[in-house]
Homo-oligomer: A and B are copies of this chain.
Amino acid sequence: MVITLGELAARLNGKIAGDSNKKISGVASIQEAKKNDISFLFDARYQKFLDSSDAGALLLSEEFSDSFSPSIVVKNSDKAYVELLSIFADEKSISNSIHKSAIIGENCDISESISIAGNVVIGDNVVIGDNTIIEPNVTIGNDVTIGNDCYFSPSSVIYERVKIGNRVRVHAGAIIGSDGFGFRNIKGTIRKVYHLGDVQIGDDVEIGANTTIDRGTVGSTIIENGCKLDNLIQIAHNVHLGKNCMLAAQVGIAGSTKLGHSVIMGGKSGIAGHLEIGNQVMIATKAGVTHSFSSNLILSGFPAREHTASKRIEAIISRLPKIITDLRGMRHQIEKLEEEMHA
């Protein structure tokens, strides 16, 4: 990928300063950029690296507009940054081929506009739309349906009957559709609860590496459009994530819990089973949610409370040694008063 600064400016909807013919072949941080790289400066904390930067050009937010040349100055730096990276992303193109080592089951309906890599195994009655890429060693079970423009990284596993929408990315080692964790003690014998349900994944969903999503016991585990899941997350049976939820790494959600839309969960946070969480709730890192909450809240701590309450408690906890010293002083004062009183 080589592009002139002028073309880049046009695609980023920015104003160019300096040589518009300069050729750019990569993106790098301001400290690491080489002479053919474009870098970016949107944050004053990185301004100190300007003088020593070898960057060939800089993408600048308006406040830094005269600080470097050549440069592209943009109004919406978030948008330009996302665009810039997408331009240089080395996304794979569709090979329109199925590697000869791939094993495809019977009665499948797979688009010809597809890339299926080596040692992929696909079951029977599988439907896959256009422009989907399936990397090596992926396994897709029977009766799975997959939309258009999806991407399955190596060793991801899609169990039977899972339904996946369009533009879904499944990272390496992610498991979708495993049995839920259900057992019953029937007169001293532990019996398995068989899982007849499925997993339904909407459009524009991203599933992180080694994340696991269990199927419903009956009915579905549902991940609505636009949800983004980081790595090593556990989604139990019959969980329902509303659209545009964002879950950071190592989150866990127990069975049958339902989240509204745009819920954000910090790393290592968790939610117990059979709860309902409203829309646009933010759950802090390591929080543990043990009862249902309505919409538009910020939660933290374990057990999770509204963040203002957690913060107040946390502030007191950090002052406990001082409070204990104060208490000793008070006790001393009381004893002195008692002595004086009874003297």
Contact = CB atoms under 8 A, between A and B. Distances in A.
A290 to B, nearest CB: 8
A153 interface: yes
Given A103-B101, A139-B136, A249-B181, A118 B121 contact: yes
Interface string A254-289: 100000000000011010100000000000011010
A334 B327 CA distance: 12
Contacts of A137: 119, 121, 137, 139, 155, 157
Contacts of A181: 208, 228, 230-231, 248-249
- Tallying the copies of this chain within the complex gives 3
A121 B154 contact: yes
Interface residues of A, number: 109
B218 A85 contact: yes
Contacts of A149: none
Contacts of A196: 26-27, 85, 88-90
B236 A249 contact: yes
A208 B156 CA distance: 15
A209 interface: yes
Contacts of A154: 121, 139, 141, 157
